[in-house]
Chain A
Amino acid sequence: MKFIVIGGDAAGMSAASRAKRQDASLEVIVLEQSQTVSYSA
């Protein structure tokens, strides 16, 4: 299954990481418009 995430911040990276951890067969692609993912404010 192909799971695409638009936005690589708190919600996006939390979902991507946990989904991949729980099901290694998932294809997970994160599209992030900036050069930074998962920053914390």
Chain B
Amino acid sequence: MRPGERSGPPVEERPGPPRTAGYVALAEAATREPHRLRARSPVHGLARRRLDPLQVLAQSVSGAAPTAAMAATPAIVASLAGSATLWSFAVATVVALLVGSCVGQFTRRMAAAGSLYSLTAKGLGPTAAFTSGCALLVGYGALTMAALSGSANYLGILLARTGVGTGRTAPVFITLLLVLAAAATALLVLGIRLAARVMLLLEAVSITLMLAIFGTLLARHGLPDDLHALGLARPDLGATAAGVLPALAAFIGFEAAAALGVEARRPFRTVPRAVQWTAGASGLLLLLAASAQQLGLDQVPGGLAGQREPVETLATAQRLPWLSVLLEGGIALSFFAAALASATALVRVLFSMGREGIAPRALGAAHPRHRTPHLAIAVALPPLAAVPVALRLAGVDASRALPALLNTSAFGYLVAYLLICLAAPVFLHRIGELTVVPVLVTAVCAPVLMVVLGAFVTTRSGWALVAIGAVPAAGALWFGWLRLRRPRQLAGVGIYDETSAADLLHGPAAPRERG
């Protein structure tokens, strides 16, 4: 500190010995290794603080893809839970809200790009964070593949209706999928604001379509005299529990806004809100969809549980064939938005791992103009498109590939959700801000997730079990290599947008950014 500088705002030169004065110097003195105050954020290069709250919300809503879930999930849940279907959805909504509140304990305090991976690191340390990272790569990766397949499939069906091509053939599917993947790559590279705007538009259209469809169906059918038909009367515990797993799978992806901590404006407010609102709103939409389908299919043999495409059946029963077209359009849009959201989160996990040095450093590069992780995108997107194409070429069509991919991703998500729930109270204790409520939330939420995860694994068979075994094995090899060769980098995982000197009172003006 030089006396002549006392009156003016202190300015820091390029990295080197600190030459700051006043408040920044005091703050610097208050930090210790390994948490020294740095001259710039470790995640520099991303488009910091650009997204408004609605765009952040769009990322989470797109990740959860409520539209596609509204069409498909109620029948799956009904086949397991029967008359307790609505209870299963209600329980799943509560679990999602509890997981969201655990995520919120972190996102209210730190702004990260690596989603639950970076957050878990601050609670449970490197090993758990690494597990969460692998689980998320599987979850986001498989969801992106599933969403691309789903979108291409429904677009193919729409095309077939208009008479262009025969819709369900492999060449049409593969062409559509590659076009969608190329569009997603372009949107992701060209800037997070652009991608977020597209997601917002797609979700707004597809949710409006869905509300219109279910509104029409309910209006046609009329409300029943006997509300027992809604399945609200007898909450059967066993049946409810059986339906919770598929109902919870309808929520996965709702935490996706946690990958936009760096890029959101006022992240400590917008990110936790986006996650919680998405959980709540998805829950309401799913309850609406489930009750509409249950009511409408009451008279149909087999009821809701017997249907593979319940909304189509309903539309036919009500003689409203145009509803099917709207439905297919809505689902195609929603799936594409989901592909964008999960790919956005995936590349930011890879970006964080690249910056930390536990994945190739190049993945941590950011495009100088678009300020997106362009190399991570270039590495991640081709395989995400190649797997569904290969599956189709091997003769696995979308109706079989989609459930397999969605199940794989659900497994990854459940592991990551369980870890973040366990991490939340530990994190709060570590920074000295533990209160009773977060402990209770984890005490309720973690056992439920463990049971669901256990049920998930034990009900798999054949190839699914091989896949579930292969991922941890590959992860363990990678982890072993890191322990041997990169112990320092492994210990330092969990980078986030740390407070740097420029963020402090009277800090040096932030270096100039060209946007």
- Same complex origin of A and B: no
